[in-house]
Amino acid sequence: MELVYRGREIAFEEVCGIFLDPLPVEQLKKSIQEYELMKQDEAKYCIS
């Protein structure tokens, strides 16, 4: 299963990796921050 985000293919595992892998806390925080930014960007496109 693949998702497309802004023309870039994102593997399903890449999206869910933060839940599946026991990553270091810093990596987890970074992933969450990137995800939050991505959701904010999507919200901007939906509004405008």
Tokens for 44?
């901007």
Stretch 6-32: mean pLDDT: 66
pLDDT of 38 > 80? The answer is yes
Question: Residue 9 has what DSSP assignment?
Answer: E
pLDDT of 5 > 60? The answer is no
Q: Would you place residue 18 in the very low, low, confident or very high pLDDT band (cuts 50, 70, 90)?
A: low
Stretch 6-14: mean pLDDT: 62
Angstrom distance (rounded) from CA 33 to CA 27: 10
pLDDT of 3 > 80? The answer is no
Tokens for 32?
């969450």
Tell me the pLDDT tens digit for each residue of 20-37. 556 567 777 888 899 889
| Phi then psi dihedrals of residue 11, to 5 deg | -65, 145
